[in-house]
Structure 1
Amino acid sequence: MMGKCGYAALRQMCQVVLLVFLCSGYALADEVILMNGDRLSGKIIDIKDGILTLETGYSEPVKLKFEAVQQMSSTEPVELHLNDGEVLKGEITTSTDRQAAVAAGPGREAVSVAFDNIAALNPPPKKPVTWMGNITLGGNLQDGNTDSMNFSAGALAVRRSENDRFLINVLYNKTEDNGESTAENTYGQLKYDYFLNPKWYLYLNIDMLSDEFKDINFRTSVGPGFGYQIWEEEGRALGLEAGLSYTNEDMDQGEDTDWLAARLAVNFLYKLFDRIVFTDQFVIYPNLDDTGEYTLRNEAALVTDIGASWAFKLSNIWERNSNPGSDLEKDDFTWILGLQYSF
């Protein structure tokens, strides 16, 4: 049997082991020293948007302004993203105020980095750039006293990365009454946006239109400009654009023309209810060669989600030409009810 002395010795040994374990854990923890001298230990999770997040293990993660950090060190390799785009991986120590020494890595010697040159630490991986969009089919068929047919097909595809956005938009409409075509037109748009920062961007836009009953064989409008993204988030988006555009109009019967125009556009999306989204794309081209003349196009739509990537889409397209030519109306309105599939 173990005597009292044996129990006392065993208890002391356990206390020593526990103390060594706790001290080693503390010594191996990451450390952050603030400008005011406060010293915090734990695990440095990340640095983003000027905020350092430290996980302590005994409380909720601590959020610290990175500008208030004087020194920091890590016991495990971290990923540093610098302002110039360079990425460094390795353990970090701080030998001088607001300077991080990054341990040597494969093919690289140890380097020293000023805190002011650190854009982020352990940022989340970037989402892969993918295409998103939808395909819409609509139409109706009436037989009896009146034989009529309407068909429409449209497709929209958008690729959005951190620095740019590419858009492709196509819409085709055809209407027949009693076997005779009364409307047939095709609209297309190609657009590239390059973001200077999260809000401002430069763009290059191409609009194309073919409309048999407006005597337009092919009209193209090409030009650059700039935009401001007010919102771009889940459930709402709003962008304003202004620029210049060169328009060339190839007429089927009339005289071909070309002109320089300004371009003003608004792109709007808002989630009205859980399953209903309203969208509106408005663009106007004031003619700079002939003041007072302009063309515009506005496409508004209500999209009702019915599940599994399918939705009903009700669209209204308003097209206006201030000087359409003889025997032509200035305004054209088109209503389309279609079934939309999103990808």
Structure 2
Amino acid sequence: MKQSVAAFAIIAMLSLTTASVCSAFPADDQAAVPQAAAPVLDVVTLKDGSVIYGEVIEMMGGLLHIKNSMAGDIIKVKWAEVSKLAVSHPIPVHLKEGTVLIGTVEEGDPGMMKVKAGPTGSVMTVPMDAVTQVNPVLQPPVVYTGSINAGYSQTAGNASLKNISVIGDFVARSEQLRLTMLGRYVYGDNNGSLITRNARGTIKLDFFITKRFFWFASAYFENDFFQDLKLRTAISSGPGYQWIERGDYGGIFKDMTLYVEAGPAYFNEDFRVAEDRASFRGRVSTKWNWPLFDDRLTIYHYHEIFPSLQNFSDFFFTMDNGIRLKILEGLASGFQVTTRYNNRPAPGTVPTDNLYLLTLGYAFDTTRKR
């Protein structure tokens, strides 16, 4: 009996002690534990009333890219269809006149957006149709693009035939300058007898006065044994305009470029046998480049026309049309057709020459992409 009373007393003391400790150190209130804050999503409201939640990645070429965890791919909507926009993270907004605003974006009236600058917190209301780009990929000070391709064939035995062709292009583009160099060399002989040999080189520098308007200076050199031509030289300068730049359009047209230029030129032809000729002419040139499928396929066109200012029926014309196919990173194959027409050829020669070149080589482009 005494043992039972003692055990009961011990249990009672332990219970009182536990209650005292619990009252002195209360358990954490589960309701008071802060929950992890859900990430704040960007909000895109379309003109038809649809609302898209996610993370705004960029807007280029008239397309707004939105990352959504529920979608397997990036959602792309036309910028012209966006009515309101809210972006929770600081983002650069590029305007038509060249201004760049960096900050978060708050919803405004339909067709308007409020950009809240980071350090100062000032808010600027901007029309959405005044925005050209949002969070574009920043490019290096100078972007280099180009290619060098070559073709070679040879036969031996009953026939001895050798053909060599090399074509190349190089463009260096900064904010205000663009340097362009083009080159071509073609050689062929049959059993030691020359059957074709011609070379061409062009160097051109463009100075951009505005984002689209530029002034160029160019020099063109050409040699062709079977045109009786030692050297054809054309020095020219004049205005040009960049009609299409990368990012102007969306979809498959996003990397397309096009420019046109024209100006006076000094044109000289030094022949081997025929009498040399020199004249003042005009120069009109167009260059169009259309990369497709992330630069896996490129279609291009380039021409130069040199009409005489004394006699408009007298002109020289050269044109390159081709495609370039990326096989592996840097390795590319190309097919080019070059047409040259001179309506006053040297005696004993024809006015038109066509070159068909199938080549393999190296292509590069330092343009940064997301």
TM-score band by shorter chain is 0.5 to 0.7
Is 2:241 the partner of 1:226?
Answer: yes
CA distance, structure 1, for counterparts of residue 133 and residue 288 of structure 2: 35
2:305 corresponding residue in structure 1: 284
Change (3 A) 1:221 1:144: farther
- Deviation, structure 1 residue 257: 0.4
Q: Which of 123, 126, 134 matches 2:138?
A: 126
CA contact (8 A) 2:270 2:276 kept: yes
- Deviation, structure 1 residue 332: 1.5
Q: Which of 120, 128, 139 matches 2:152?
A: 139
Higher relative contact order (CA 8 A, sep 6+): 2
CA contact (8 A) 2:104 2:115 kept: no
Change (3 A) 1:17 1:184: same
- Deviation, structure 1 residue 185: 2.2
Q: How does 1:141-220 map to 2 (within 5 A)?
A: 141-160=154-173, 165-192=178-205, 194=208, 196=210, 201-202=213-214, 204=216, 205-213=218-226, 214-220=228-234
Partner secondary structure for residue 187 of structure 1: strand
Q: Which has the higher Rg, Structure 1 or Structure 2?
A: 2
> 5+ residue gaps in structure 1?
35-39
TM-score, with length taken from structure 1: 0.65
TM-score, with length taken from structure 2: 0.61
Partner secondary structure for residue 201 of structure 2: strand
2:241 partner letter: F
2:304 partner letter: V
| Structure 1 range deviating more: 220-229 or 52-61 | 52-61
1:37 corresponding residue in structure 2: none
- Deviation, structure 1 residue 323: 0.5
CA contact (8 A) 2:103 2:115 kept: no
1:170 partner letter: G
CA contact (8 A) 1:321 1:330 kept: yes
Is 2:335 the partner of 1:314?
Answer: yes
C-alpha distance after superposition, 1:170-229 (max 9, x if no partner):
1112223343434332212234554956xx553524432233443232412423333423
CA distance, structure 2, for counterparts of residue 303 and residue 85 of structure 1: 34
- Deviation, structure 1 residue 262: 3.9
Q: How does 1:240-319 map to 2 (within 5 A)?
A: 241-253=260-272, 254-265=275-286, 267=288, 269=290, 278-319=299-340
C-alpha distance after superposition, 1:208-260 (max 9, x if no partner):
22334432324124233334238875698463624124033151443240212
CA distance, structure 2, for counterparts of residue 311 and residue 56 of structure 1: 35
Aligned residues: 319
1:332 partner letter: D
| Structure 1 range deviating more: 85-94 or 219-228 | 85-94
CA contact (8 A) 1:316 1:335 kept: yes
- Deviation, structure 1 residue 320: 0.9
CA distance, structure 1, for counterparts of residue 281 and residue 82 of structure 2: 50
1:223 partner letter: S
Change (3 A) 1:93 1:321: closer
Question: Percent identity over the alignment?
Answer: 15
CA contact (8 A) 2:104 2:118 kept: yes
CA contact (8 A) 2:94 2:134 kept: no
Change (3 A) 1:89 1:295: closer
Change (3 A) 1:162 1:293: same
